[in-house]
């Protein structure tokens, strides 16, 4: 059965951990979906497979293009699409327009946006009122890289209280789930206990309701990974070997037989 936002909340109540990963194309999305991943995020982290240094240059058109490919592959998982930098921060109207395009043009079920400050809360409320499921994202928010860097967030008492309050306010504004990125595990646990909606952690310890990783990190496809990523296999090596074997066989006229 297809995963819904309500299902995720039920899983939290039942203590069933939520498995999330990112995808950027049809082939990867098909593999993840068939392997039983619950939530597939078309994250703006696909910047790494497009050769960008940060997530900032990603456009809404690029997200739509990749989200359509992902959506075509997915039968079961909930598909969530990141709204890229400056396609939702300007006004509620801009956010509505961008999120509307995601749902109408890609068939994805939800959008994700970064931050929990008052202007964002109003935006979330209005999107949710319009019937658009929204996922929140607090802690390290990579679209603010030029202000925050890529450092762990919530290290002081004051900063951790601010993140906790943002998470609570986002839940009140209507998000169905929230990503906690690169914050201390104790803070992530505190937020997870406080909220009714599921927390999905990345670099936020093991007590979140679910976990997400950037798939290219998990697969060892990227040149370098953030400190909190776990590399489960080294696809760079596997691909290099396959390509070198092919090159040798072509040059020795062994392929095709």
CB of 55 to ligand KIV, least distance (A): 6
181 labelled catalytic: yes
Q: Which residues are annotated as a binding site for 3-methyl-2-oxobutanoate?
A: 44-45, 82, 112
| DSSP secondary structure, the chain, as one string | ----HHHHHHHHHHTPPEEEEE--SHHHHHHHHHTT-SEEEE-GGGHHHHT-SSSTT--HHHHHHHHHHHHHH-SSSEEEEEPPTTSSSS-HHHHHHHHHHHHHHH--SEEE----SHHHHHHHHHHHHTT--EEEEEES-GGGHHHHTTS----SHHHHHHHHHHHHHHHHHT-SEEEEES--HHHHHHHHHH-SSPEEEESS-S-SSEEEE-HHHHTT-SS---TT------HHHHHHHHHHHHHHHHHTT-S--
Among 20, 24, 42, 44, binds Na ion (CB under 5 A): 44
* Residue closest to ligand KIV, measured at CB: 43
Among 33, 82, 171, 181, binds Na ion (CB under 5 A): 82
Using CB under 6 A as the criterion, which residues of the chain lie in contact with ligand KIV when the complex forms?
22, 41, 43-45, 82, 179, 181, 202, 212, 214
Q: Which residues are annotated as a binding site?
A: 44-45, 82, 112, 114
CB of 45 to ligand KIV, least distance (A): 3
Residue from 181, 186, 223, 257 carrying the catalytic annotation: 181
By C-beta, is 202 or 219 nearer to Na ion?
202
CB of 20 to Na ion, least distance (A): 12
By C-beta, is 190 or 208 nearer to Na ion?
208
Catalytic residues: 181
């Amino acid at each position: 059965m297809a995963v819904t936002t309500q299902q995720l909340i039920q899983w939290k109540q039942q203590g069933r951990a939520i498995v999330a990963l990112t995808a950027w194309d049809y082939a990867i999305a098909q593999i993840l979906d068939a392997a039983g991943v619950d939530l597939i995020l078309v994250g703006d982290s696909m910047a790494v497979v497009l050769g960008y240094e940060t997530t900032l240059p990603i456009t809404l058109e690029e997200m739509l293009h990749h989200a359509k490919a992902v959506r075509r592959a997915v039968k079961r998982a909930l598909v969530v699409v990141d709204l890229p930098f400056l396609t939702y921060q300007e006004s509620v109207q801009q956010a509505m327009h961008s999120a509307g395009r995601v749902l109408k043009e890609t068939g994805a079920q939800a959008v994700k946006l970064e931050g929990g400050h008052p202007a964002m809360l109003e935006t979330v409320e209005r999107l949710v009122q319009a019937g658009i499921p929204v996922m929140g994202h607090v802690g390290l928010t990579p679209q603010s890289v030029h202000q925050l860097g890529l450092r762990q967030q919530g290290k002081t008492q004051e900063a951790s209280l601010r993140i906790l309050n943002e998470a609570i306010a986002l839940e009140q504004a209507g998000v169905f789930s929230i990503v906690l990125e690169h914050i201390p595990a104790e803070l992530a646990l505190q937020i997870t206990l406080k909220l009714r909606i599921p927390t999905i952690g990345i670099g936020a310890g093991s007590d979140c309701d679910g976990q997400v990783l950037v798939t290219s990190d998990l697969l060892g496809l990227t040149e370098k990974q953030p400190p909190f990523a776990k590399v489960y296999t080294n696809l760079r090596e596997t691909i290099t070997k396959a390509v070198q074997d092919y090159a040798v066989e072509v040059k020795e006229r062994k392929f095709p037989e």
